[in-house]
């Protein structure tokens, strides 16, 4: 029986949206493992738009759902249409979109909040005890989703880890090729481009994360 996995995207491009390599690696691995996938994104304006060639902010507005549709080849839905009953697990790739669009962590740090539609869906997965994979900077949201005591990783960035600990998470250092699992919460995280120096390095940890999330979905099988 193939598992159904929800993937939340946060735009299109590392500096203002979803990290494209991380998103594609996630989608590729899920497909290779025979999972059914549905992408979702919030139907909101991006925090801002960054020129990915120069790194400068651009004087325009873009929509997170519309931009995420680029990665999903148009096969994506408004996150408000997502029903937890339809899915066995959830994965959230990284990129600054997680910290700028899915939340305001990039601006507020430890005092951040998660976008309400994103919070509602991720909390539903947490409360149902369904597996969740958080990639790159996305684990910064774990304490807001799971509450104090949740264990996760963003690699070894001291400032980010300190902010996460202040929010109530327990940060565990992790190599780019590895994953951290909070067994009680069925939460899996990996650093990806928080540490990766190449797409292959990013893939090594993401593939492990996807494989583990899928393994966890089978634990409830009769």
Query: Can you name the residues that pair with 171 across neighbouring β-strands?
Result: 152
pLDDT tens, residue by residue, 11-25: 999 999 999 999 999
Specify if 222 maps to a domain.
no
Q: Identify the domain containing residue 13 by its residue range.
A: 4-217
Q: Is 12 considered catalytic here?
A: no
Q: Which residues of the chain have pLDDT under 50?
A: none
- Report pLDDT for 219: 83
Give the model's pLDDT for residue 222.
53
Report pLDDT for 194. Answer: 96
Which SS3 state, helix, strand or coil, does residue 53 take? coil
Q: Which of 12, 136, 152, 174 is catalytic?
A: 136
Rounded alpha-carbon distances, angstroms, from residue 215 to 94, 125, 130, 133, 180: 21, 16, 12, 12, 14
CATH of the domain at 181: 3.40.50.880
Would residue 11 count as lying in a domain? yes
**142-192 tens-digit pLDDT:** 999 999 999 999 999 999 999 999 999 999 999 999 999 999 999 999 999
pTM of the model: 0.97
How many structural domains is the chain composed of?
1
- Residue 211 buriedness (CB in 10 A; 0-12 / 13-18 / 19+): middle
């Amino acid at each position: 029986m193939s598992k159904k996995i929800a993937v939340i995207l946060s735009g299109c491009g590392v500096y203002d949206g979803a990290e494209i390599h991380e998103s594609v690696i996630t989608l590729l691995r899920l497909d290779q493992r025979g999972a059914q996938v549905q992408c979702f994104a919030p139907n909101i304006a991006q925090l801002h738009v960054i020129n990915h060639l120069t790194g400068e902010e651009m004087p325009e507005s873009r929509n997170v759902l519309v931009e995420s549709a680029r990665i999903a080849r148009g096969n994506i839905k408004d996150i408000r249409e997502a029903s937890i009953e339809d899915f066995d697990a959830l994965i959230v790739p990284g990129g600054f979109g997680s910290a700028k669009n899915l939340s305001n962590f990039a601006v507020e740090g430890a005092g951040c909040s998660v976008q309400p539609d994103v919070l509602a869906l991720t909390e539903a997965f947490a409360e149902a005890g369904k597996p969740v994979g958080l990639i790159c900077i996305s684990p910064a949201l774990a304490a807001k989703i799971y509450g104090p005591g949740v264990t996760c990783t963003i690699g070894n960035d001291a400032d980010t880890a300190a902010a996460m600990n202040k929010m109530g998470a327990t940060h565990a250092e992790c190599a780019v090729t590895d994953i951290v699992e909070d067994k009680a919460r069925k939460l899996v995280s990996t650093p990806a481009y928080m540490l990766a120096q190449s797409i292959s390095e990013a893939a090594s940890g993401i593939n492990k994360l996807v494989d583990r999330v899928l393994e966890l979905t089978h634990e409830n099988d009769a």
